[in-house]
Amino acid sequence: MTLPIRNVAIIAHVDHGKTTLVDALLKQSGIFREGEDVPDCVMDSNALERERGITILSKNTAVRYKETLINIVDTPGHADFGGEVERVLGMVDGCILIVDANEGPMPQTRFVLKKALEKGLRPIVVVNKIDRPQADPYGAIDKVLDLFLELGADEDQCDFPYLFASGLSGYAKEDLDAEAVDMQPLFEAILRHVPPPVGDINKPLQLQVTTLDYSEYLGRIVIGRIHNGVIRGGQQAALVTENGNIVKAKITKLMGFEGLKRVDMEEASAGYIVAVAGFADANIGETITDPNEPQALPLIKVDEPTLQMTFWVNDSPFAGQEGKLVTSRQVRDRLFRELETNVALRVEETDSPDKFLVSGRGELHLGILIETMRREGYEFQVSQPQVIYREVNGQPCEPYELLVLDVPADAVGSCIERLGQRKGEMQDMQPGSGDRTQLEFVIPARGLIGFRGEFMRMTRGEGIMNHSFLDYRPLSGEIEARNKGVLIAFEEGVATFYAMKNAEDRGSFFITPGTKVYKGMIVGEHNRPQDLELNVCKTKQLTNHRASGGDELVQLQAPIDMSLERALEYIGPDELVEVTPQSIRLRKMAKKLAKR
């Protein structure tokens, strides 16, 4: 018997609580047995997602409610992972838009919502976190309506249903003053407002590949929605590839989704989201179809990358000491393997066999790839991110971003001044909650490179910064780069407390005493605009004279912690970030150093 189906995506800005809301839906659907240990943010299964508290990969689950199978797709809220969003929206017939009752819609809400509206989806709006202080649920609804109108939503989309909820407390309700018990009102809203999938089971099979997975036992597993026809385990099928070739194969395994698990199925019909094994070379966007009547679905269109950087084989003096996978062939194979699942990424080979040009959606998108590779044992180095220019109507253009800042009132002036120097144009300024102000800017993407570190210093770590791609506009002219030089190690050795203490007045260090350094390695930031080479390995000359006050406790200033993202934002055009499984180092390019 075929169950009634609803396919729905959950979309929201980062940290507005969508993964927590999915947790509540899963727990109340009865898929977990009593007493089972269920972690928080159960859909964020990737180690990096758990560490950073963000969703990076789109994932789907399925629950049953009143004999209806509800497929729920959890999507990333960050615009850098828009490729994940674009490919899964074709699997669903409706979406739940979650907004924070305090913040309302934010830049990434705009990005994901625009994609959903373009697909003709009619969102159900859930105002989340209504139990928090300073929440303004009705204000959030008004802001959502303004955003819908701004994005060109049609009349039907603007007449959206809305609910109030607290994902953490596990309840939803249609009336703000009503007693809230559980998530039942949201389940009912899904049944009422999300249309059942359209598709004809009598037509030839068409299944579009939207996600790839791998199993040691089954090989490559493709996940996608059946648009037409019926699929059966063990049947012959054909894959229509991106270039139109037809590859025939047998479906060795057919699986559906039940909660967080995959369950074996004998057959599935139009509307179902299934996992299929048997196609070793299938790629995202391709179609599994009837071998007798092969009919391809339109390929998934993904926005082009806006940022690129060069991946180099590590050639520093410490190369090969910490990583297992260090050769150009290993790095190349890993980058091209990433293309199979990461639809928004581009990799190009260059004139040099040791360099690869990698393009992505933003610093976070590329940073996650770099962090994943270093955890897998790769060792390499990367250049400063550069924006990708394009020609529009014969005119050279560059990507622009919509930037929203939430800052303490005393930091407003310095933020406006600094963004003005980076060609940012202020669009709006609104009082935020408490003693805070919300600023909105349109700024060239290259104006944001390296800004996050400055922003954190200007707001003493209290500022919140969000941005998303807007469009391509004419070039905005020269933008002032980093206004301070760097401290460069003079020779190879081990940094000493004595040398660093003597050089402390020259700037701020990125390293601590005992760190191994080499000639050309960047060890700190200079107080002045020029670069400065210094000897951080110098040792104190020992004599038999005891220095007056020598026993006093002397301390160094705390070093600046250079995380991967901060290092990528910080480096200049003649500098590299050396990435190994154990270390993140900054260095000058060898040829640049030789000229000095």
Specify binding-site residues: 15-20, 128-131
CA distance 496 to 489: 12
CA distance 408 to 438: 9
User: What's the first-to-final CA gap in the chain, in angstroms?
Assistant: 76
Phi, psi of 316 (to 5 degrees): -75, 165
CA distance 214 to 258: 19
How many helices (H) does the chain have, and how many strands (E)?
Answer: 15, 35
**Feature table: binding site for GTP:** 15-20, 128-131
Cα 525 versus chain centre, distance: 29
In one-letter notation, the amino acid at residue 216 is E
Largest CA distance in the chain: 97
Question: Which residues 6+ apart lie within 8 Å of 275 measured at CB?
Answer: 213, 221, 222, 223, 253, 254, 255, 256, 257, 262
Q: Which helix (H) or strand (E) holds 567?
A: helix 564-570
Distances (CA, A) of 259 to 22, 220, 256, 440: 11, 22, 10, 40
CA distance 168 to 445: 35
Instruction: Give the three-state DSSP class for 252.
Output: coil
CA distance 245 to 310: 33
Per-residue buried b or exposed e for 513-550, using 16+ beta carbons within 10 Å of the residue's own CB? bebbbebbbbbbbbeeeebbebbbbbeeeeeeeeeeee
